[in-house]
Amino acid sequence: MHIVTGGAGFIGSAMVWQLNQMGITDILVVDNLSTSEKWNNLVGLKYEDYLHRDQFLKFILEGEDPFDTESVIHMGACSSTTELDADFLMENNYRYTQHVCRHCLMHDARFINASSAATYGNGEFGFDDDHDGIDRLRPLNMYGYSKQLFDLWAKSGSILDKIVSLKFFNVYGPNEFHKDDMRSVICKAYKQINETGKLKLFKSYHPDYSHGGQKRDFVYIKDVVRIMAWLLENKDVNGIFNIGTSTPRTWNDLGNSVFAAMGIKPNIEYIAMPESIREKYQYFTEANMQKLNDAGCDVAMTSLEDGAADYVQNYLAKDNSYLTSR
């Protein structure tokens, strides 16, 4: 069975959709639905069963494998970059991931883990996913640090050649509507433009970047899960890998792409960035994808313009923000 933790979340549910596209339905979704609206991400998808994250942890801590595990695609984590409860992040993002990883190694199952580009901090040491350089990275927030700790643990335990850990850059696309403030700017922009006719972006407080000129590596969710599917099938490819486009774009580019997808003339207003995030703000990210390319991954990346157009016109504008197998 293929197990997707965080399977009702953004990337997790999109991966269930991708597995369905591949004809795979023997899937166990592991998550903590609680009172959130992310259950909507599962509607229309095909999977065998659902299990609460705590019950799944109980099974694997007892050394049991009633699931006949073939793979665990571990997307389950707190993904909030503003989460301040460090103990919660240590247990939920770091310790839990260790347990799931050990379970996979014990049962000879494929393990694909969600790391994060937040591990790169302000990018002073670049954005290369080579194993030798991860020790010097300095994340700017506790979320990034919790992800960094697992990668360091895997390296120190000499298991990076047996698992996959993926550093996702700025992912956007269907199935993120439940994320509230952590939704992509494209998702927020569509709503904002619909309601006000304009888009608000943060001003720049860095002399090298104009307002809206801050650059990020925006990657479409459909490309992300296609890469993960390729890794699932190519079990001899292991290690830490970036997941991005290698083409950083400005926030202005993103805004203009949304306006274009909506058929509206651009109207961007620049507003003050909250002081609480100014010192930890990333002005530039760029995924070096050479390592994954060299491994043979041939997934073609979607341009920002095409990705925004698909997301806006085929999902947001149709009042349907979900991927479905129907």
Catalytic residue list? 143, 179
Q: How far is CA 119 from CA 58, 65, 93, 277, in A?
A: 29, 32, 13, 16
Residue 226: other Cβ atoms inside 10 A? 18
Is residue 272 exposed (0-12), middle (13-18) or buried (19+ Cβ within 10 Å)? exposed
| Structure tokens, 127 | 């954005």
| Structure tokens, 137 | 């990275």
Beta-bridge partner residues of 71: 2, 110
- Polymer length in residues for the chain: 326
Q: Which are the contacts of 92, defined by CB distance < 8 A and separation ≥ 6?
A: 77, 78, 146
Q: How far is CA 71 from CA 9, 56, 64, 65, 183, in A?
A: 18, 14, 15, 12, 28
* Among 157, 167, 274, 273, CA closest to 227: 167
Q: Is 301 helix (H, G, I), strand (E, B) or coil?
A: coil
| Structure tokens, 219 | 């990657």
Cα 251 to Cα 240: distance, rounded to the nearest angstrom: 27
Question: Hey, which bits of 187-254 come out as E strands?
Answer: 199-202, 215-216, 218-220, 239-243, 249-250
Cα 100 to Cα 16: distance, rounded to the nearest angstrom: 18
Are 131 and 162 in contact by the 8 Å Cβ rule? The answer is no
Q: Could you tell me whether strands 249-250 and 71-74 are parallel, antiparallel, or unpaired per DSSP bridges?
A: unpaired
